[in-house]
Every structure is written in structure tokens, then in C-alpha cells.
């Protein structure tokens, strides 16, 4: 059996690519469905779910590169002629489905890969080349768009696959021609074919089909960020001697060996501070945080749930502390309250004060168990106990303050 194609039959390389990608699709689609449906209430369940998603992603990346190689090979080879060139409509339909399959084998895994690269955390791809794509930023918006596109395009792939299989069976069972046989291995009788393939029209139809499918996905809200409704409460503005003009309150957890960073979009700080104090008490701070405003990569919804922050029952957290000037900077010494659990906390921070304002950077390490967060994950296999907290802000003195 020749390696390359001829005018009447496919070569062994084309056949290998065809059945290898078919195997990849047959494996990928059930893996994705199973992984999405798996629970993750306990540490063991989360580990199992992540393992299944990692397998799905790894196979998906492999299929992506196999599909690229298949397309390059197909372009370089003659394509066997049409068995039924007189059936114009059937030929157009078959060619369109082929292009839908070719394109889907690229855009489906690629959209999933971009979604993975734009998302922080959860299930890694099992390979040594890292989890990022150089041009893809860590972004909830990018992740939502490509996650939605992946969902829509998988439906196009599934439909194309069903139509392709139905067409092959129709040729083999009803027409009893060589369509399926000449794609199978071994030597088979292949009739002389006539007629050339017209690629322009099938490609145009396939592009139109993708455009319609993606438009329908947009109309159904498939690309909107996945938010947890009803958990974030808006905090009222506070008045203090120093007004925060800009800042970031972030946390970092380690889940399944991967660092996952998140930020709180809504928090306030009432600050009393005297920069003239060189040693000892220099002021106080009262921080309120809207728990539901947290964005924590792919595990945001999980973090809001009852086993973690339980944002519906405990919508805010509070840190009340005295500001103490020490030898090498400052410390905020006080009490942090999350889920009605209060623990002492000392947050060291650096401070730079000029006439324009004050710039502060501080960080501390918490133990999630102290606040009843993730009690269903009693060991660190799935979720580390330590949670890193970092705050950065710029504040200006309130008008009228000396």
C-alpha cells in the first residue's frame, strides 16, 4: 500500500491521520462530558475531576497538533476524485462537512487551549512546556469568550461528525460503493474516478455555518463572564483621614499544585494615620471586604460556596487593626473576621509618604482552617492550608487634614 495518495485512492499516511483523529475525537468528547458532570465536594472528588479534565486537555492538545499535521499533509497530496460527480448537491454537502470537520479539529482544541491559558488554576495540561500561551493574557473576559466559543464549536464538531458518519454508512450500505473502503487499510479495488473537487463553495458554506453557530452562541450569552449571582453586596463609601484612591486586595491559594491568584473588586479602608510617629502606635485602620466580589480564576464559583467562603451567609469580612510604627516599617496589628470566625492578625507593610500621598504594600499568610474554609478538604493534596494575602494601595490625605 503506497504512502502517498493517488488519483483513485488514499495512501497509508492519509488513512493513518484520518483514523488517528477519529480516535482522538471519540476519546475527547466523552472525557469532556464526564469531567463536566463529576462532583467536586470533597478533596478526593476534586482530585478525580481535575485528573479527568487534565486528561481531556492533554488529549485535546495532541489532537490539535495531529489535525495541523493532517491538514498540511492533505494540502500536499492529490485528493482522489469524486465517485459520483453527477450528484451535485450530495457532493457539496459532503465537501462542506469535510471542511467543517477539518476546521473544527483545529478551532475546537485551540479555543479550549486559549480558555485554559487565560484561566488561572485548576487542571494542568500534562506536558513539560508550561500552561500559558505567549499571546494570551490571564483574563476573565478572554477566558469567558473562548470558553463559550469552545462550547459552541464542540456542537458544530459533533454535528459534523454525525453527518460524516451517516454519509459514510450511506455510501457503504445503500450505495455499496468504495467511499469507505478506500479509506480503510489494505488493498481494495478502487474504481477510476472523475471530476475535480471545488473547494471554494464548500469552504464558504462551512464559514457561514460557523458564523451562524457563533452568533447563536452570542445571542444565548455563551461568551458572558460566568459570575456567581446574588453573592456580592455593594459596600458604602467610608470617610477617613486618608482616602484610598487606588489599590488591590488579592489572595493566592495553591490548588492541586498550581498557584491560583484572585482579587476582591470591592473593599473599603477607613484610615487614621500620623506619619510623624517614629515608634509605637501611629493610627488605626478598619477594612471591609465584599466577599462576593472575589474573582479566583476557574474556581470562583467553588470559592463562593458553603464549604468555602459561604458568601451568601457571610457576605463581608472585616479587619480592625492598630497601625504600629516599628524599626523596619509598620505593622497593622488587629483581628480578622471571616465567616464569623475572628483571629488575631499582624500584617507587616512598607510605606512611602510624600506630599502627593502615601503608597503602601503589605502581605501576610493565613491558614484557611482558622476560618472554616475548605473543611471538606482536610489535607493539602488538593488545597494548601496557607493562603497568601497581599494589599497595595495609594491614599491621599483628606481635605482639611494636616
pLDDT tens readout for residues 293-338: 998 887 888 899 888 999 999 999 999 999 999 998 999 999 999 9
Average pLDDT estimate for 77-98: 86
Give the model's pLDDT for residue 166: 95
The domain locations on the chain are 12-219, 242-397
Give the model's pLDDT for residue 211: 96
Give the model's pLDDT for residue 401: 56
pLDDT at 227 over 60: no
Give the model's pLDDT for residue 402: 53
pLDDT tens digits along 98-108: 999 999 999 99
pLDDT tens digits along 139-188: 889 999 999 999 999 999 999 999 999 999 998 899 888 888 888 887 66
Distance between the two ends of the chain, CA-based, in angstroms? 90
Q: What angle do CA 236, 226, 312 make, to 5 degrees?
A: 45
Give the model's pLDDT for residue 47: 83
* C-alpha dist (Å) from residue 167 to 162, 175, 185, 245: 9, 10, 19, 64
Average pLDDT estimate for 263-286: 95
Crossing angle of helices 140-169 and 200-219, rounded to 10° = 130
Name the CATH architecture for the domain at 242-397.
Answer: Beta Barrel (2.40)
pTM: 0.78
For the chain, the average pLDDT equals 90
Q: What angle do CA 302, 306, 309 make, to 5 degrees?
A: 70
Amino acid at each position: 500500500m503506497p504512502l502517498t495518495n493517488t488519483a483513485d485512492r488514499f495512501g497509508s499516511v492519509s488513512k493513518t491521520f484520518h483514523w488517528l483523529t477519529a480516535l482522538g475525537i471519540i476519546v475527547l468528547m466523552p472525557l469532556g462530558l464526564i469531567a463536566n458532570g463529576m462532583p467536586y465536594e470533597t478533596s478526593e472528588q476534586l482530585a478525580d475531576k481535575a485528573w479527568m479534565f487534565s486528561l481531556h486537555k492533554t488529549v485535546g492538545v495532541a489532537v490539535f497538533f495531529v489535525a495541523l499535521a493532517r491538514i498540511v499533509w492533505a494540502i500536499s497530496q492529490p485528493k482522489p476524485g469524486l465517485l459520483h460527480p453527477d450528484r451535485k448537491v450530495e457532493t457539496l454537502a459532503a465537501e462542506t462537512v469535510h471542511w467543517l470537520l477539518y476546521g473544527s479539529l483545529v478551532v475546537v482544541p485551540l479555543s479550549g487551549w486559549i480558555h485554559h491559558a487565560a484561566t488561572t488554576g485548576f487542571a494542568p495540561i500534562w506536558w513539560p512546556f508550561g500552561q500559558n500561551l505567549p499571546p494570551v493574557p490571564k483574563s476573565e473576559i478572554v477566558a469567558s469568550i473562548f470558553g463559550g466559543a469552545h462550547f459552541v464549536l464542540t456542537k458544530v464538531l459533533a454535528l459534523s461528525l454525525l453527518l460524516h458518519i451517516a454519509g459514510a454508512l450511506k455510501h457503504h450500505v445503500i450505495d455499496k460503493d468504495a467511499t469507505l473502503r478506500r479509506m480503510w487499510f489494505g488493498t481494495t479495488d478502487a474504481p477510476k474516478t472523475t471530476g475535480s473537487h471545488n473547494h471554494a463553495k464548500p469552504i464558504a458554506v462551512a464559514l457561514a455555518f460557523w458564523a451562524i453557530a457563533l452568533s447563536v452562541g452570542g445571542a444565548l450569552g455563551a461568551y458572558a463572564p460566568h459570575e456567581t449571582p446574588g453573592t456580592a453586596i455593594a459596600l458604602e463609601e467610608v470617610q477617613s483621614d486618608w482616602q484610598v484612591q487606588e489599590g488591590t486586595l488579592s489572595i493566592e491559594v495553591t490548588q492541586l499544585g498550581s498557584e491560583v491568584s484572585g482579587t476582591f473588586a470591592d473593599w473599603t479602608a477607613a484610615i487614621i494615620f500620623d506619619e510623624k510617629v517614629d515608634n509605637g502606635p501611629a493610627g488605626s485602620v478598619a477594612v471591609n471586604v465584599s466577599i462576593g466580589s472575589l474573582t479566583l480564576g476557574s474556581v470562583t464559583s467553588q470559592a463562593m460556596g458553603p464549604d468555602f467562603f459561604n458568601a451568601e451567609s457571610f457576605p463581608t469580612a472585616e479587619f480592625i487593626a492598630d497601625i504600629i510604627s516599628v524599626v523596619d516599617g509598620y505593622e497593622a496589628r488587629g483581628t480578622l473576621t471571616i465567616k464569623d470566625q475572628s483571629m488575631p492578625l499582624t500584617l507587616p507593610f512598607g510605606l512611602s509618604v510624600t506630599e502627593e500621598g502615601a503608597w503602601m504594600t503589605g502581605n501576610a499568610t493565613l491558614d484557611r482552617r482558622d476560618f472554616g474554609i475548605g473543611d471538606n478538604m482536610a489535607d493539602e493534596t488538593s488545597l494548601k492550608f496557607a493562603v497568601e494575602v497581599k494589599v497595595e494601595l495609594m491614599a491621599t490625605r483628606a481635605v482639611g487634614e494636616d
